[in-house]
Amino acid sequence: MALGDCWKQLSWFYYQYLLVTALYMLEPWERTVFNSLLISVAGMAVYTGYVFMPQHIMAILHYFESVSPPFSKANSISKVKALSIVLEAKSDDVIPWDCFSFARLGGKAVEEHA
């Protein structure tokens, strides 16, 4: 009985979806194409959010100094190399992986050591 009620509820939701989006006027093959495109776009948006949003959120938090940079003690050599690249860069050079801290410094670190 619970499976029948669940199926009835899902059918009612699908019917509401057809009415709200006006898909009930389309032929079945047109509905299939529209639903496939809608599911594809929604799937790509979810995947993109899952893959790229953590990086952007960490960059924003790093910019506002809510979290420390993503360097660990085991990766201290990379930290020294990154610092030397920033200090040796000229003011017109672009350092995409550290643009937030470079912009926050206003180029002072580069101008002092150039």
Distances (CA, A) of 72 to 8, 77, 84, 98, 106: 54, 10, 17, 16, 26
pLDDT band at 112 (very low <50, low <70, confident <90, very high): very low
* Long-range contacts, 55-63 (Cβ 8 Å, 24+): 59/100, 62/100, 62/101, 63/100, 63/104
pTM (global) more than 0.75: no
Q: Check whether 7 has a pLDDT greater than 60.
A: yes
Q: Where are the alpha helices (DSSP H) in the chain?
A: 2-21, 28-63, 76-88, 99-105, 108-113
What distance in Å separates the CA atoms of residue 36 and residue 66, rounded to the nearest whole number? 41
* pLDDT per position as a tens digit, 60-94: 888 777 666 555 554 555 555 555 665 565 555 55
- 107-112: average pLDDT: 46
The predicted structure's pLDDT at residue 67: 62
Q: Check whether 114 has a pLDDT greater than 50.
A: no
